[in-house]
Amino acid sequence: MVGISLTVNGVSTTAEVEGRTLLVEFLRDTLGLTGTHVGCDTSQCGACTVHVDGMAIKSCTVFVGELDGAGVVTIEALSERHGGLTPLQKAFQDHHGLQCGYCTPGMIMSLTALIEDNAKPSEAEIRRHLEGNICRCTGYVNIVKAALAATGQLDSAMSASHDTSRWGT
């Protein structure tokens, strides 16, 4: 057993954990924060993405014992911080950026990290950033549209994508 102290969603937490306990297991099983999903257990899908000390990570790839003293933010904390849905969460809702919703927490956490680093990412940057997140339902079109909407770029991005002048017509 390993003793750890960390801050999860602004709350100090101390626990004794087995050395092999993954962060995703700790969040879900010990703290009851089930918004972080386990999709693949191989770090391929991104459903388990959370922020650790400001960086988006896949929580199925790190042992919680390695995070002593760290700050962890999960999907549950985003709306609490904003007193409701964040602009990105609202855009996912408004632009149908989710279907089954299983990948959505990881998508939101990944895109939140991108938007915190780059307030106006291009469509290409959004798509590149989501390469580590798999959605089997949506085809990503509405996820990208939601990210553009959340950053105030949807109208200009849609105009550019429908600009027929580049096709000579």
What are the pLDDT tens digits along the chain (169 aa)?
A: 999 999 999 999 999 999 999 999 999 999 999 999 998 878 899 999 999 999 999 999 999 999 999 999 999 999 888 789 999 999 999 999 998 999 999 999 999 999 999 999 999 999 999 999 999 888 899 999 999 999 999 986 555 554 444 434 4
At 161 the pLDDT is: 56
Among 3.90.1150.10, 1.10.150.120, 1.10.275.10, 1.10.357.10, name the CATH number for the domain at 85-161: 1.10.150.120
Q: What is the pTM of this model?
A: 0.89
Spatial CA neighbour of 11 closest among 32, 25, 40:
32
**CATH number 3.10.20.30 is the correct assignment for the domain at 1-77:** yes
Adjacent-strand bridge partners of 73 = 51
At 8 the pLDDT is: 98
What tokens were used for 125?
């940057």
Q: Which amino acid is at 2?
A: V
b vs e for 61-94, b when ≥16 Cβ sit within 10 Å of the residue's Cβ?
ebbbbebeebebbbbbbbeeeeeeebebbbbbee
Q: Which helix (DSSP H) or strand (DSSP E) does residue 163 occupy?
A: none
Q: Which amino acid is at 87?
A: P
